[in-house]
């Protein structure tokens, strides 16, 4: 399925065949949340997620992926806009496209984790979790380096 955001030369697509894995993996290596993540793991994560690529003049400039059951739950991950393309509203266009996707409507829970982009996500009604003390997780930050 492909979805387009018409606005200047931006094209936002969910077509996984168009994703530039070199751009995605390369950028993720520079992040606080995914540095060291092996390419094979990135590829597997993409295959099993609803992914959004943003393209300008045919070149991928932004990315996000959503892990979801497409019924009640979604988790937004690996969101980025290349540094040289920031400040032009691309992240907002990407978020509007994600939140408008037909498979992501009427969810009970739509989660994300961020250390530094609360201002962006709060514009789209994301809020800190109430009663977050009841949430639990198995967390292994070294799994990215061990994956095959």
pTM: 0.89
Domain residue limits, the chain: 10-146
First to last CA, the chain: 29
Q: Once rounded to an integer, what is the mean pLDDT over residues 83-90?
A: 96
Q: Residue 67: is its pLDDT beyond 90?
A: yes
Lowest mean pLDDT among 8-17, 33-42, 97-106, 125-134: 125-134
113 vs 146: which has the higher pLDDT: 113
pLDDT, tens digit (0-9, with 9 covering 90-100), for 119-140: 999 999 999 888 777 878 888 8
SS (H, E, C) the chain: CCCCCCCCCEEEECCHHHCCHHHHHHHHCCCCCCCCCCHHHHHHHHHCCEEEEEEECCEEEEEEEEEECCCCEEEEEEEEECHHHCCCCHHHHHHHHHHHCHHHCCCCEEEECCCCCHHHHHCCCCCCCCCHHHCCCCCCCCHHHHCC
pLDDT at 134: 80
Domain covering 10-146: architecture: 3-Layer(aba) Sandwich (3.40)
Q: Once rounded to an integer, what is the mean pLDDT over residues 30-48?
A: 96
């Amino acid at each position: 399925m492909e979805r387009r955001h018409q606005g200047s030369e931006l094209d936002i697509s969910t077509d996984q065949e168009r994703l530039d894995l070199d751009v995605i993996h390369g950028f993720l290596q520079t992040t606080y949340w995914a540095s060291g993540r092996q390419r094979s793991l990135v590829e597997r994560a993409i295959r099993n997620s609803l992914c959004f690529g943003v393209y300008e003049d045919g070149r991928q400039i932004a990315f996000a992926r959503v892990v979801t059951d497409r019924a009640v739950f979604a988790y937004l991950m690996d969101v980025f806009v290349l540094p040289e393309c920031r400040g032009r509203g691309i992240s907002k266009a990407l978020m509007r496209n994600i939140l408008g996707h037909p498979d992501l409507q009427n969810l009970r829970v739509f989660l994300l984790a961020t250390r530094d982009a609360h201002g962006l996500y709060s514009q789209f009604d994301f809020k800190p979790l109430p009663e977050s003390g009841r949430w639990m997780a198995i967390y292994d930050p070294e799994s990215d380096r061990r994956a095959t």
